[in-house]
Structure 1
Amino acid sequence: MRLFPSLSALLLMCLPGFLSAQSPFENGWQLDQVASNITYMSIKKGHIAETNSFATVNGQISEDGTAVLTIALDSVDTAVDLRNVRMRFLFFETFLHPQAVITTHLDAADLADLPNLRRKEVTLPFSLSLHGVKAELSAPVIISLISNDRINVATVKPIPILMKDFGLEAGRAKLEEAAGVTITPLAIVSLNLTFDRTTPGTALPQPTPVVAASAALETEGNFDRAACVGRFEILSKTGSINFAPAGSRLDPSSTALLDTLYDVVSRCPDLVIEIGGHTDSLGKASQNVRLSERRADAVSEYLHEKGIPETRMKVTGYGETQPLVPNNTAQNRAKNRRIEFLVVN
């Protein structure tokens, strides 16, 4: 007579949630943020590899097996403050696209033998929404059953993401210019995700909306002078403050960046900021000076209406006198039409 159950029998008793092919995800699952991470590797100067991560990731698996990961891009963590800011403002443009979303579906039939195997490789098709672009991809992952109420999902090998597929080439160019390095147009992404079963009878929490200003690994309160100077230099390189053609009326597309600018100016309360307008060389030089000044003034007025005192802003129109690049192509002229921010006191 057998006095002790076999190992397989113990598994059957301990893992009831995975015995039902209809509902292995009973009650839903929630990402354990502390035990999970999403990292990406980039290559600069052709041979220097850098691995960075994201501090804020929300994730759920619903009872039908639908999995959703929401990545707060403002939480990009390179371990260097101003490098984080470059990634936010120049590359990801988080003032326009604050989050990336990964969606996939886990098939209950594919996981029917997981209680016996404990660890299984499956290929998951998934959609990635990033920078306003949605693409369909797939990747092999290892799903490990830690207990009846805890699983781990990890990529078998890093997932290559081409920057051009998500409209990130312009951001790469801005990063290269700001940092003075070349950057390979490819990122290598790895995921290591741990989920816990939601308490029986408790509704699965809905994903928390990502609010850029609160999701970042950002210094709280006011910035010191160096942080302010660095941020204004980076904001000057975004090229995201736009105006009506040949006019000084702010385009509505500029609002997101201007609100980010307001947040930074507010957190540098002891500094006076120069708002400098610049144009290309088309048209008369005198007219370009007036146009650049009106455009800089429009930015100043926007910030003043939000509460920044006029005494903290100096408006200057430089016209065509300080080009970044020669005014010999349409692309170069677009770079020269810009608003720059400089700490003057």
Structure 2
Amino acid sequence: MIRITLSFLTVFFLLIRPALAAGPFEHGWQLNPDSSAIRFISIKKGSIAESSRFAAFSGSISEQGEAKIHIALDSVDTSIDLRNVRMRFLFFETFTYPEAVITARIDPAQIADLAAVQRKQIELPVTVSLHGVTADLTVPVAVTLLGTDRVAVATVQPVILKLEAFKLNPGREKLEEAAGVTITPVGLVSMDLMFDRTAPGSASVPAGTAAAGAATALESSGDFSREACAGRFEILSQGRSVNFAPSTARLDASSRDFLNSLSDIIRRCPGMVVEIGGHTDSQGKSAWNMQLSEKRAAAVNGYLQETGIPAARLVAVGYGETTPLVPNNTAQNRAKNRRIEFKILN
């Protein structure tokens, strides 16, 4: 949903100076991340609103009026480290979908009188690519000319994004389980963006450029503390992102991005031994389920070793059907019980 908000960013491209004979997009425009903000509000327990932001994003408008905004979803900032990790791994699944991209084609006629009126509201058609889904929408934005080379673009009101439209409902359900709260299946996105005219010959700003004060949101470099490692392994266990071909221990290709991210976290938890626990539902014979869980845990162990994790730091254990998360009384519950969990042994 946040990505959809980004679409509003495309509005910035309106930051054009119509007074120029060469055209309103002369030299193009560059988004100024330090003077801009992209935020989203989520509603939990029916009435509690929580505001979060993205700390790394970039955008530009070409001389042809083609606008594009990149948002680094790993830079989601909820002000709490492990909550940020939940958003990355459980909701946005940034190991597979690292960014949201907003594009738009701005019609010069929409802002032709901006130099005269200084501020105007326009309806901007945008295309949003988020979580593997591309959707078109129209966003009302206010464009304010602050000078010949600076323009502000802001959403007129929060944009309501339906999570189901971007296949984000499964992530919402994982967040609900992890936090023990209900979350409304919509997101409210707002943007306040500043664009500066590009100086002739200057280089464009790289995608995902971090804004000032982004350090608290972005994943730190170097090793994690034991507490941070334990919290991350618990969250990764809740992701249910390790998948296998039905009734086999053959890893699905969709699991690789997740396991590569897991491998990076294990490297940054030096000296810690990590248990890989395989679990099944109660369908079939218990002995067969135990064997299957052991083979699946071993398959994950083998993949992580292939990424460079020493065998001495990994322990594969099969639990079969002995430790269900929920009763095995529905197809949905059985899917939750078929899982791989990770925890620190020492």
Q: Distance in 2 between matches of 1:269 and 1:283?
A: 39
1:207, CA displacement in angstroms? 4.2
Query: 2-side partners of 1:205 and 1:218: how far apart?
Result: 21
Number of aligned residues: 328
Corresponding residue for 1:173? 173
**Distance in 2 (alpha carbons) for counterparts of 1:284 and 1:201:** 69
Distance in 1 (alpha carbons) for counterparts of 2:28 and 2:59: 11
SS at match of 1:229: helix
The Cα shift of 1:205 comes to 5.6
Per-residue deviation, residues 272-324 of structure 1 (Å, max 9, x unmatched) = 11100001111211111111011101111111121111111111100000111
Counterpart for residue 119 of structure 2: 119
1:271 corresponds in structure 2 to: 272
Q: Per-residue displacement from partner, 1:70-104 (whole Å, max 9, x unpaired)? A: 11101000000000000000001111111111112
Residue 303 of structure 1 is matched in structure 2 by 304
CA contact (8 A) 2:58 2:209 kept: no
Question: Which residue is 1:185 aligned to?
Answer: 185
Aligned pair in 2 of structure 1 residues 196, 167: CA closer, same or farther (>3 Å)?
Answer: same
Residue in 2 that maps onto 1:9: none
Residue 143 of structure 1, CA deviation:
0.7
Percent of aligned pairs with the same amino acid: 58
Structure-2 change in CA distance of 1:23 and 1:116 (3 Å): same
Q: Does the aligned pair in 2 maintain the 1:24–1:108 contact within 8 Å? A: yes
For the residue of structure 1 that corresponds to 2:35, the secondary structure is coil
The equivalent residue for 2:156 is 156
Higher relative contact order by CA 8 Å / sep ≥ 6: 1 or 2?
2
Residue 234 of structure 1 corresponds to: 235
Residue 18 of structure 1 and its aligned partner are, at CA, apart by 2.2
Match of 1:23 in 2: 23
CA distance in 2, matches of 1:253, 1:59: 30
Gaps spanning 5+ residues in structure 1: where?
A: 1-14
- Structure 2: how far apart are the matches of 1:17 and 1:91? 40
- Matched AA of 1:189: V
Q: Supply the AA of the counterpart residue of 1:127.
A: T
Find the aligned partners of 1:16 and 1:162 in 2 and give their Cα distance.
31
Q: In the alignment, does 2:73 pair up with 1:76?
A: no
SS of the aligned residue for 1:290 comes to helix
1:214-233 aligned at under 5 Å gives the runs 217-233=218-234
User: Does the 8 Å contact 2:17/2:115 carry over to 1?
Assistant: no
Q: C-alpha separation between the residues in 2 aligned to 1:124 and 1:198?
A: 22
Q: Could you tell me whether the CA contact under 8 Å between 1:21 and 1:109 is conserved in 2? A: no
RMSD of the alignment, in Å?
2.0
Q: Report the 3-state secondary structure (helix = DSSP H, G, I; strand = E; otherwise coil) of the residue aligned with 1:34.
A: helix
Residue pair 2:17, 2:114 contacting (<8 A) in 1 also: no
Partners of 1:238 and 1:22 in 2: how far apart? Answer: 52
CA distance in 2, matches of 1:109, 1:306: 54
TM-score, normalised with respect to structure 1: 0.91
Q: Distance in 1 between matches of 2:128 and 2:173?
A: 22
